Amino acid sequence: MVVSQDSIFSTSDAGSTWNNYPTPKGMEFSYSFYSKTLWFAAGTNKINNNNSCILYKSTNGGISWAKLLDTIISTPNGLADGFSAIDFYDENNGIIGVKRDVIIRTTDGGMNWQEEVMPNETFLEIISIIKFFGKEKVIAST
């Protein structure tokens, strides 16, 4: 997979040919490609300078995207200005880094999310990487 601002490129023949799939427009995204067909895009809604946290899901390998979430999230340090990192352990269990000191977790494929506040002043910068290491253990980095 190669991701640009407007497209996702994938190959199944070691790069001899590439398929081009559009990304959701007007956003800055982090992606999680759980399988060949199940993809998630989490980011910041830049349309109308909204800066809300937005999440899309594709169940057909990027051909179409369904919006799962578009919301403003309050953190202990003020309003979050978007999602910054995403990972899925399996098709149901996912985690998203919210721009500062909050992560949100799903156990039902992204339909519902629970907020988890990180310990005080754990991250003073934006969470840029978040990864599952087993179903319960998560590592996040700035």
Task: Note the pLDDT tens digit of each residue in 30-70.
Answer: 888 888 889 888 887 766 666 677 888 999 988 888 988 87
Task: Note the pLDDT tens digit of each residue in 63-115.
Answer: 888 988 877 665 555 556 677 888 999 999 999 887 666 788 899 988 888 88
The CA-atom distances, in angstroms, between 101 and each of 29, 76, 127, 140 are 18, 8, 8, 11
Rg of the Cα atoms in the chain: 15
What is the C-alpha separation between 102 and 82, in angstroms, rounded?
11
Q: Give SS3 for 68.
A: strand
Please name the amino acid found at residue 41. A
Q: Give SS3 for 128.
A: coil
